[in-house]
Structure 1
Amino acid sequence: MKKSSEATLSMEIERGEYQVFLSFRGPDTRYGFTNSLYHCLLDAGIHVFIDDEQLRVGKEIGGELLKALERSRIYIPIFSKNFATSSWCLCEVAHMVECTSKSNGKKEIHPVFYDVYPDDVKLKSQLYKEALAKHKMKFPSEELKRWENALVEVARIKGWELRNRRHGEIARFIVDEVVHKIGDKRVDVPKNLVEDHHQIKAIIEKLDIYSDDVRFIGIHGMGGIGKTTLSKVVFNKLYSDFDGVCFLNDIRGATGHGLIEFQKKLLSSMVHFRNAIQIKDIRDGMKWIQRVCCTRKVLIVLDNLDKKEQLEKLAGKCDWFGLGSRIIITTRDKGILMTQMESSNKEDLSQPKGILDFEVHAMEFDQAFRLFSKHTFGSDSPIKDYVALSYTIVNKVDRLPLAVEVIGSFLCCCGSTLEPYFDKRNLWKDTLKKLDRGPFKDVRDVLMISYEGLENEQKEVFLDIACFFTNEDKTYPIIMWDNCNYNPHIAISILLQRSLIKIGDDNKFWMHDQVRDLGRYIILEEYPRKECPRKYSRA
């Protein structure tokens, strides 16, 4: 049994850092509280090391066990009446204190007082004093003093006292505390991030996280304009105020089994939930989300939705979530947000009547210019000889964050390669010529997603606007499209919902420059490859 245990321990150690190390006196708590706490921690997705000191009698602490101690972030010694009779347990506590003192605050000890009082562990009673005295024959006085000091130091830390309290309830409190300590739920943001403080502030104000109603907010806009980045920044700023958080990245295209996988991810991110892998079907997943989240204040981001079904199956109604919950949705298709979020309590006027709306706008020029400079030059501003060219490029892409990043990174990479052989300014001039022919491929690929989701008649209307009717009154084009049986009012509605066009107060069509250039690129590059001469008239 000992060899098997050692082999298992060695394999566990090789897996990397532990989040929690449990230390306990086996006969006292192994089959009771410690077992319950261990499985609660596992259910919460926490990597736990649990040691049974009875398998190690007579050995010096070291080797695999020492590695486990050193690689753990949180130590939970479970002090029981016989804890101090075990030299092994005393050694572990002493090492916990040493590891914590050297960690610069990265490691913590959270003591549990099972059937003893903190004063017993502080050696203010005879219980642990007598136990320590029995070790004098086998261990030097220096080691005994080290144990005594460690016990006193740990007992001064505020922990959990279990006397006359429900063990299951305390185990849940402990897991919540551990998750709070180790659960850095922040999501990754772009390396050269330039925060759009105005839009971030506006979103946070709409969320109003200190009100008790359940709020949904839809962040919408064209591809590449920064919806996901904005939602990530907001998520990172707010997540610590919620009981449970989840960022579901890029849900676009998910249906059927794919949606079930996102339901599992959402549930698995919530503390204590172990049944995510047992979801039978989408409807079962919906029921589980409601059961798990209905009493929690949660923050959930559903990123890049393209179907109403996704919203319905992942965050169907307000009453799925506890008071104060916030659900953030990002999408290119505003039509997904045109739905009513119902509450089971029809008289609850605190619930929003629908999804709050936030349209993402292009960055301010100064922000876009700084973003471009970060990607191109690694600083907040360009070097002297490239200021004018930088202004021209940022204006050319109309401050679209995706285009700014892609072109800035391209110029940085290619510029460093060409520098020994050519004047880099010629590369920049060629880049401007390339932009005259249409967006860069990486930008084009993102924008094409919206175009490819259109029906044929809607594509025709889109291409006509891109080639002929940008900044033109909509009246006569609509008459023309109606004669062509393009159902122009439906087509225009879809283009508006997907942020491909806008209609100004002057009744004129408007397109972002990069979207307009995409339409013209499609005509010049795509259609000639097909045997469809009728399309050439737009070129």
Structure 2
Amino acid sequence: MSSSSSSSSSSSSSSEAKWSFDVFINLRGEDVRYGFVTDLHSCLIHGGINAHIDSEDLRHGDEISPALMKAIEQSRIAMLVFSENYALSRWCLDELVKVMECRRLKNQRVLPVFYKVEPGDIRGLRGSNGDALTGHEKKLGQDSERVKKWREDLFEAANLSGWHYDHGNETEFIERIVKEISTLVRRVPLSVTKYPIGVRCRVEEVMSLLSMGSDDIRMTGIWGTGGLGKTTIANDVYNSIAKTSNRPDGLVHLQEKLLFEILWKESLVVLSVDGGTNMIRDRLCCRKISLVLDDVDHGNQLNALARECEWYGKGSEIIVTTRDKHVLNSHGIDQVYEVKPLDRGEAFELLSSHAFQGNQMKDISRDHKDNVLGYAKGLPLAIVVLGDLLCGRSKDLWESILKKLAESPNKDINSILKISFDVLEDNERDIFLDIACFFKGRVREYVTRVLDSCERSLVTIEHDCIVQMHDLIKQMGQDVVKKECPNDPSKCSRLWCYDDVNEVLSTAMVRASHQTTDNLIVFNLHAITELPLGTNDVKGIVLQLQTPAKLHISPNAFMHMRRVKLLILSSAQINRGPYVFLMI
């Protein structure tokens, strides 16, 4: 979670930049160089902050020197010291334009200092600074693009959060700036990704939902299953510091963190969630911020941090990433971006970036690459994990690893996907596992006869009628069931593999009433009333064979299956021909 004024974003994260300076100070020397800025620079250096002061030695003629341009580009933070005659200096204004360009393209943090000038006068281009721009227009022409750019960037910069000094103890004012700069310098921004393939276009689609440049306060959701890159996209829209709220005082901790990062006041203490909501509403209602709430899975998290848009100032943008679309819907967030898997071209490029070095690609057949892409199904997480796993491996090892993956999911991928499963309620888990083990690809009407619906970015409906889920999510669900008792299928809650079904049914009596037709045997399992209670954990058996196969059913098959509620056996050869068993 992070806050600041809004900005565009590039696919490269500021965390990946190599900063030469912590702070670049832009100023008009005749106004503030000797005195305020000299003292400020000394305090920054004394505090271990590598600060660079704009020097006249780097100014040549009417243009900024390449050395000065480089110093701006390689600074993590740019500080703009607005003074009484700031706009008289063309160098100051050209540096300002460069700083604002770095803010847009490199996520550079820009902090204004209004030194003995009113922020409103800078924003409105009034007073001596407004007169200075008028004078530049007379010299450079009424239609000068250069002056037009100066005006635009002055207005934008003056709208950013910073510091205002009019009178009072200047030493204390400098100490406050240094303390807050120290906090920002110590803060490590999140990295986007090593190979941001497919990220840029998705970021642009999210940016199109935001109210960039307007006074609207907008909440935007980014929704999708685990591993699709929601956090990567959100971080690229605004390089955020993501927090979680799993600890008992998690929401209070988050509220304190949010208030501190915006207000920079360590003394703020939040005693309760309700108290924190009031403090956020009262103290931030005039602050224009960009706020990213990452991996939200409960409505109480949104209520504690952003219950209403009006809690924040005009022009604020709030981005929420979640796996649970219901969280967004229930909060009234109607601007929702659904993250889709990578297309085949993007997936292949991402796989190549992680898996192949030098000429290794020549040794790996097209079928092997297609198998990896088919397994990942456009899921960036899976492609990155598998690419790194397969990097530098021989063709034989590729075959071995792919064969192993077909039998058991990769633990790194599985652990991320399973997060969505772990937060489900018990009845929702049952629904999901039934779909993962039995009903993927079946018609929705058929499935809803026996199941309720759930939506945690785990199950989707295609063409308004087909129940679907990503193959890796299906594999994750089946792995959950297999781990219930790996060596004894009779103690697993669901059976769908021929060998497991045959083993369980061949060892146990159908004393339930039944009817027989040419291709169907229907058992009334609820008629089993005389059987003793048992320990068998099987809840459902669904065997859907592509080709008919013999299935042996023992007279005692259902002796201990007191929990079975679903039994479907399709194309199983029992006695004389194929039959289908359905529970009634």
Q: Partners in 1 of 2:202 and 2:287 — Cα distance? A: 28
Name 1:263's counterpart in structure 2: 255
Name 1:105's counterpart in structure 2: 71
1:474: Cα distance to partner?
A: 2.8
Deviations for 1:428-482, whole angstroms, at most 9, x for unmatched residues?
1012112211321001111111122223332232222122211111333333x3x
Name 1:526's counterpart in structure 2: 484
Relative to structure 1, the CA distance from residue 459 to residue 229 in structure 2 (aligned partners, 3 Å threshold; closer, same or farther) is: same
1:212: Cα distance to partner?
A: 1.9
Letter in 1 for 2:230: K
Q: Partners in 1 of 2:374 and 2:195 — Cα distance? A: 20
Give the share of equivalent positions with the same residue, in percent: 26
Q: Partners in 2 of 1:454 and 1:530 — Cα distance? A: 26
Name 2:220's counterpart in structure 1: 217
CA contact under 8 A between 2:342 and 2:378: conserved in structure 1?
A: yes
Letter in 1 for 2:224: G
Q: Larger deviation: 103-112 or 434-443?
A: 103-112
Name 1:205's counterpart in structure 2: 208
Name 1:50's counterpart in structure 2: 43
Q: Partners in 1 of 2:291 and 2:496 — Cα distance? A: 45
Partner secondary structure for residue 208 of structure 2: helix
Name 1:295's counterpart in structure 2: 286
Name 2:308's counterpart in structure 1: 317
CA contact under 8 A between 1:339 and 1:355: conserved in structure 2?
A: no
Alignment of 1:151-300 (within 5 A): 162=116, 168-169=165-166, 187-236=190-239, 247-251=240-244, 253-254=245-246, 256-270=248-262, 272-275=263-266, 277-300=268-291
Q: Partners in 2 of 1:320 and 1:381 — Cα distance? A: 55
User: Which of residues 470, 476, 498 is equivalent to 2:456?
Assistant: 498
Name 1:73's counterpart in structure 2: 51
Name 2:473's counterpart in structure 1: 515
CA contact under 8 A between 2:363 and 2:395: conserved in structure 1?
A: no
Q: Larger deviation: 516-525 or 444-453?
A: 516-525
Name 1:469's counterpart in structure 2: 439
Name 2:101's counterpart in structure 1: none
CA contact under 8 A between 1:337 and 1:355: conserved in structure 2?
A: yes
Name 2:539's counterpart in structure 1: none
Q: Partners in 2 of 1:164 and 1:307 — Cα distance? A: 43
Q: Partners in 2 of 1:229 and 1:370 — Cα distance? A: 17
Residue 371 (structure 1) aligned with residue 350 (structure 2): yes
Letter in 1 for 2:278: K
Q: Larger deviation: 294-303 or 503-512?
A: 503-512
Deviations for 1:68-119, whole angstroms, at most 9, x for unmatched residues?
499631459xxxxxxxxxxxxxxxx99999xx998742578977989xx99x
1:332: Cα distance to partner?
A: 0.7
Partner secondary structure for residue 278 of structure 1: coil
Relative to structure 1, the CA distance from residue 160 to residue 381 in structure 2 (aligned partners, 3 Å threshold; closer, same or farther) is: farther
Letter in 2 for 1:249: A
Deviations for 1:328-387, whole angstroms, at most 9, x for unmatched residues?
00011111112345xxxxxxxxxxxx4412211111111111111111125899446444
Relative to structure 1, the CA distance from residue 17 to residue 208 in structure 2 (aligned partners, 3 Å threshold; closer, same or farther) is: closer
Partner secondary structure for residue 219 of structure 1: strand
Q: Partners in 1 of 2:406 and 2:238 — Cα distance? A: 37
Q: Partners in 1 of 2:224 and 2:116 — Cα distance? A: 53
Q: Partners in 2 of 1:531 and 1:311 — Cα distance? A: 42
CA contact under 8 A between 1:447 and 1:515: conserved in structure 2?
A: yes
CA contact under 8 A between 2:21 and 2:52: conserved in structure 1?
A: no
Partner secondary structure for residue 431 of structure 2: helix
CA contact under 8 A between 1:377 and 1:383: conserved in structure 2?
A: no
Q: Partners in 2 of 1:163 and 1:327 — Cα distance? A: 31
Q: Partners in 2 of 1:258 and 1:69 — Cα distance? A: 32
Relative to structure 1, the CA distance from residue 230 to residue 276 in structure 2 (aligned partners, 3 Å threshold; closer, same or farther) is: farther
Q: Partners in 2 of 1:380 and 1:188 — Cα distance? A: 29
Q: Partners in 1 of 2:460 and 2:336 — Cα distance? A: 16
Name 1:304's counterpart in structure 2: 295
Name 1:435's counterpart in structure 2: 405
Residue 356 (structure 1) aligned with residue 348 (structure 2): no
Relative to structure 1, the CA distance from residue 323 to residue 364 in structure 2 (aligned partners, 3 Å threshold; closer, same or farther) is: same
Letter in 2 for 1:168: Y
Letter in 1 for 2:43: I
CA contact under 8 A between 2:223 and 2:322: conserved in structure 1?
A: yes
CA contact under 8 A between 1:75 and 1:96: conserved in structure 2?
A: no
Relative to structure 1, the CA distance from residue 471 to residue 68 in structure 2 (aligned partners, 3 Å threshold; closer, same or farther) is: same
Name 1:28's counterpart in structure 2: none
Name 1:452's counterpart in structure 2: 422
Alignment of 1:120-135 (within 5 A): none
Relative to structure 1, the CA distance from residue 457 to residue 68 in structure 2 (aligned partners, 3 Å threshold; closer, same or farther) is: closer
Relative to structure 1, the CA distance from residue 378 to residue 289 in structure 2 (aligned partners, 3 Å threshold; closer, same or farther) is: farther
Equivalenced residue count is: 394
User: Which of residues 374, 393, 397 is equivalent to 2:376?
Assistant: 397
Q: Partners in 1 of 2:208 and 2:82 — Cα distance? A: 41
Superposed CA RMSD in Å reads 4.7
Alignment of 1:113-124 (within 5 A): none
Relative to structure 1, the CA distance from residue 250 to residue 365 in structure 2 (aligned partners, 3 Å threshold; closer, same or farther) is: farther
Q: Partners in 2 of 1:465 and 1:393 — Cα distance? A: 24
Determine which structure has the larger helix proportion and give its number. 1
Letter in 2 for 1:254: N
Unmatched tracts of structure 2, length 5 or more: 1-19, 26-34, 60-64, 97-112, 122-163, 498-584
Letter in 1 for 2:221: G
Q: Partners in 1 of 2:322 and 2:465 — Cα distance? A: 25
Name 2:580's counterpart in structure 1: none
Letter in 1 for 2:261: S
Q: Partners in 2 of 1:163 and 1:197 — Cα distance? A: 40
CA contact under 8 A between 2:342 and 2:379: conserved in structure 1?
A: yes
Partner secondary structure for residue 509 of structure 1: strand
Relative to structure 1, the CA distance from residue 175 to residue 382 in structure 2 (aligned partners, 3 Å threshold; closer, same or farther) is: farther
Relative to structure 1, the CA distance from residue 398 to residue 284 in structure 2 (aligned partners, 3 Å threshold; closer, same or farther) is: same
User: Which of residues 425, 439, 444 is equivalent to 2:395?
Assistant: 425
Alignment of 1:85-96 (within 5 A): none
Q: TM-score, normalised by structure 2?
A: 0.57
CA contact under 8 A between 2:211 and 2:315: conserved in structure 1?
A: no
Deviations for 1:269-320, whole angstroms, at most 9, x for unmatched residues?
22x4314642222223222322332112211110001111111101111110
CA contact under 8 A between 1:279 and 1:285: conserved in structure 2?
A: yes
Letter in 2 for 1:406: V
CA contact under 8 A between 1:267 and 1:273: conserved in structure 2?
A: yes
1:321: Cα distance to partner?
A: 1.0
Letter in 1 for 2:383: V
Relative to structure 1, the CA distance from residue 325 to residue 513 in structure 2 (aligned partners, 3 Å threshold; closer, same or farther) is: same
Unmatched tracts of structure 1, length 5 or more: 1-15, 22-32, 42-47, 52-66, 77-92, 123-152, 237-246, 342-353, 416-423, 482-487
